[in-house]
Structure 1
Amino acid sequence: MMNIFFVWIFFFFVISFTTLINFFYIKKYFSQLSQLQKSYLNYFIWLLSTCVFVFLLWIYFFYYYNILIANRKILDFGISYVIDHILSLDNILIWFICFEYFNIPINLQNRILTYGVLGSFILRFFLIMLSYWFLLHWNWVIFLFSCILLFSGLEMLLIKTDNNITDNIFLIFMMKYFNVINSINSEKFFLYKKNILYITPLFLVLVLIELSDILFALDSVPVTLTFVKDPCIIITANIFSILALRSIYFIIFNILNKNFYIKSIISIIVMLISVKIMYENYIYILENNIYIFIAIVLFLFLTFNILKKYFFR
Structure 2
Amino acid sequence: MYTIGTPFLWTIFSLLSIAMIAIEIGLQKKNILVKTPLKCSIFFSLLWLGVVILFTIILWSSINKNIGYDVANIKTLSFFSSYCLEQFLSIDNIIVWFLLFQYFSIPVIYQRKVLIYGLLGAVVFRIIIIFIGNWFLYKYNWILYIFGVIILYTGIKTIFYTHSTVTVLSNNQWISWFYRKFRITNKLEEDNFFLWENKIFFFTPLFLVTILIELSDIIFAIDSVSAILSITIDPFIIITSNLLAIFNLRSIYFLLSYFGKQINIIKYSVGFILIFIGIKILIEHFLYIPEFFYLIVIGVFLSISIVLNIFYVLKKKFFKINKKLS
- The TM-score normalised by the length of structure 2 is 0.88
> In the alignment, what sits opposite 1:21?
23
> In the alignment, what sits opposite 2:248?
244
C-alpha displacement at 1:52, in angstroms? 2.6
Of the candidates 77, 80, 94, which is equivalent to residue 92 of structure 1?
A: 94
Stretch of structure 1 that moved more, 20-29 or 41-50: 20-29
Of the candidates 190, 207, 211, which is equivalent to residue 207 of structure 1?
A: 211
Q: Superposed, which structure 2 residues align to 1:24-39 within 5 Å?
A: 24=26, 33-39=35-41
Report the secondary structure of 2:65's partner residue: helix
Q: What are structure 1's unaligned runs of at least 5 residues?
A: none
The alignment's C-alpha RMSD in Å is: 2.3
Distance 1:257 1:186 in 2: 26
Identity of aligned residues (%): 33
Q: What are structure 2's unaligned runs of at least 5 residues?
A: 319-326
Distance 1:104 1:265 in 2: 28
> In the alignment, what sits opposite 1:269?
273
CA change 1:155–1:247 in 2 (3 A) is same
CA change 1:3–1:202 in 2 (3 A) is closer
Report the secondary structure of 2:233's partner residue: coil
> In the alignment, what sits opposite 1:123?
125
- CA deviation string 1:52-111 (max 9, x = no partner): 322322222122112222222221111111111111112211101111111111111000
Of the candidates 206, 222, 225, which is equivalent to residue 218 of structure 1?
A: 222
Matched, 1:232 2:260: no
Of the candidates 42, 45, 54, which is equivalent to residue 43 of structure 1?
A: 45
Q: How many residues align?
A: 313
> In the alignment, what sits opposite 1:63?
65
CA change 1:23–1:278 in 2 (3 A) is same
> In the alignment, what sits opposite 2:321?
none
- Segments ≥4 residues shifted beyond 6 Å: none
C-alpha displacement at 1:190, in angstroms? 0.9
- CA deviation string 1:158-208 (max 9, x = no partner): 221341211211111111121111111221111112221100011100011
C-alpha displacement at 1:31, in angstroms? 6.7
> In the alignment, what sits opposite 2:55?
53
Report the secondary structure of 1:197's partner residue: strand
Matched, 1:300 2:285: no
Distance 1:25 1:249 in 2: 17
Which amino acid is the alignment partner of residue 167 of structure 1?
N
- CA deviation string 1:3-43 (max 9, x = no partner): 71221111111112222333336866957941222222222
